[in-house]
Structure 1
């Protein structure tokens, strides 16, 4: 998560007796970097059972650097998404063809058939890393290109540690997963900067973004105010079963996404989640969040990974899915409730 200064701006998360909380495992980045077999197993168990985990970034130079860049990106949310509407609309995304750029609130329907209330600016990794000719972004982002590059480089270096341990647990050759989403190859990997307005005290809780799973490989999330909810495995999709994820200082929230589930034959879990207005008095302040959404490089397929003893082979009657990740994502958008602005 961003710095303690960002946390100090919000009231504390309310009691679990009032707002039910999901119990999310915590895994230490420093222990993973030190090669701990126990921590590696804990990572794998969380990816299989919950599909979510807190990654403790403390006691790691890489983790502390990511926290610092996360704080800078949080400040960039405020500088960018509080620009006047006329200016932001100059950078409007060309959905559904492209999601890069600005999305105003109210463009999407959510689970209760109302409109979403989140503004989003999606920053392309390809743009910042120079994999494509530079795109035009609002002035605060253009003035912060070095910090944005630092965020992408550092976030990917942390994700690479996680993917390396998943290689080990899945009995794949070292570097298999990271090689499918390199920084220097074109992909749909992006950083989403999200801002939802304060909610008046008299209003009931609202759904800001409806239930969905992420379509990429893995997501790294920073948020300070609550509001993110997960539906526990095996639970019916009814309101009383959803659980809040309480943000933890010094941690990033990690979740497995659908492409990695496909590659592993369903071994790793991509969990249904949604974004509500923050709980309790936190709702009286605007809610900011960052989502680093790691997608496979252009041309990669969703074909199941082979070469190890852990990932199950195709069963009788199953056909190999050789679609590339882009065409598969387009197909999913048509046949599911997949929300492209999050995933």
Structure 2
């Protein structure tokens, strides 16, 4: 979690010119909640230019509550993903049809053709909030459903605040984007727990999670040690071009997903990112992260949002994509898994 309690458990992120660090902005939730026009504009520009930004949650009642929730979720992550392999296998997911549940390390191919090195457990928001019949999850999760509900509720408040600011800059009625992912509407929104063990410092070291963009609307991520990298737009996908995002105490990482890029006609950037072993002395430690991945409600489509004067309409003769977000997401996931589509940064300036 992004608090001093957890940061103190690991070596500092290494400094020096040999470690390429992404130049992404840090925004302040308290300023956004206070209605700062300057901070709101910085948010919009970050969504266009980078697709990634750090969000400082301190000095905000909702932000501080989410930091506390995140600490509890990191403890739950540890309790869940360190269960025996046979136990975890009972909750295995079935991608791309069903991404909820457990994904063991080594089942996906990464950029270098090797297998991934990350264990993942994905919890559906609908399951946790009780808007659908509950799934069966491992005991640590089932005994902490209330804590998961609090994390999701607090995370959603902060995500909705960000989306409301984007409404203003996109010339949309207030509440448009947040209304497309309301808590009470069924969706594939999820909380995802990820664990990568420390890897050997030799040629056997693997990419933990291959280059990808997030399929949904927006993602809120907590991590403590490094390893998350982004590829600047237009750069070739080779190791020297990837830049680390340095985790910062008290901050969550926010990034834009493909659905929001589609809805805005490419105005906002969905940036290619991957996970590798942490740099420097941090590489000796397992890497844990916690993500809140916001997807659109199930009845929404991926067609461009109409209204206002910022999002340009489709060109003459262009055909509207009326598939639901779920159908479109499944199609994209299958294309990527079959090697028919190469993930890449999309949209933005």
Which deviates more from structure 2 when the two are superposed, residues 250-259 or residues 308-317? 308-317
Correspondence for 2:243: 243
Which deviates more from structure 2 when the two are superposed, residues 101-110 or residues 194-203? 194-203
Q: Any residues of structure 2 matched to 1:20-99 within 5 Å, and which?
A: 20-99=20-99
- Aligned-partner Cα distance in 2 for 1:254–1:72: 20
| RMSD of aligned residue pairs (Cα, Å) | 1.3
Correspondence for 1:13: 13
- Aligned-partner Cα distance in 1 for 2:114–2:233: 26
Equivalent residues, number: 339
Q: Mind listing any 5+ residue stretches in structure 2 that lack a counterpart? A: 345-349
- Aligned-partner Cα distance in 2 for 1:191–1:176: 23
* Contact 2:114–2:206 under 8 Å retained in 1: no
* Contact 1:185–1:297 under 8 Å retained in 2: yes
User: By how many angstroms is 1:237 displaced?
Assistant: 1.9
- Aligned-partner Cα distance in 2 for 1:131–1:33: 29
* Contact 2:170–2:310 under 8 Å retained in 1: yes
* Contact 1:215–1:258 under 8 Å retained in 2: yes
Secondary structure class of the residue paired with 1:330: helix
Secondary structure class of the residue paired with 1:177: helix
Superposition misfits of 4+ residues, deviation over 4 angstroms: 202-205
Query: TM (normalized to structure 1)?
Result: 0.96
2:341 counterpart (333, 336, 339): 336
- Aligned-partner Cα distance in 2 for 1:99–1:245: 26
Secondary structure class of the residue paired with 2:208: strand
- Aligned-partner Cα distance in 2 for 1:336–1:327: 16
Q: Any residues of structure 2 matched to 1:98-247 within 5 Å, and which?
A: 98-202=98-202, 205-247=205-247
User: By how many angstroms is 1:73 displaced?
Assistant: 0.6
Cα distance per residue 1:214-270 (max 9 Å; x no partner): 110000010001000001122222221110000011010000000000000000000
- Aligned-partner Cα distance in 1 for 2:48–2:214: 15
* Contact 1:201–1:284 under 8 Å retained in 2: no
- Aligned-partner Cα distance in 1 for 2:41–2:86: 50
* Contact 1:332–1:338 under 8 Å retained in 2: no
Cα distance per residue 1:60-103 (max 9 Å; x no partner): 00000011111111111110000111111111112232111111
User: By how many angstroms is 1:202 displaced?
Assistant: 4.2
* Contact 1:2–1:68 under 8 Å retained in 2: no
* Contact 1:181–1:297 under 8 Å retained in 2: yes
Cα distance per residue 1:140-195 (max 9 Å; x no partner): 11111110000000000000000000001101001000110011111100011000
Secondary structure class of the residue paired with 2:68: helix
Secondary structure class of the residue paired with 2:291: strand
Cα distance per residue 1:271-328 (max 9 Å; x no partner): 0111111111111111000111000010210110111111111123322111111111
* Contact 2:264–2:311 under 8 Å retained in 1: yes
- Aligned-partner Cα distance in 2 for 1:21–1:205: 21
Query: TM (normalized to structure 2)?
Result: 0.94
Secondary structure class of the residue paired with 1:133: coil
User: By how many angstroms is 1:338 displaced?
Assistant: 5.2
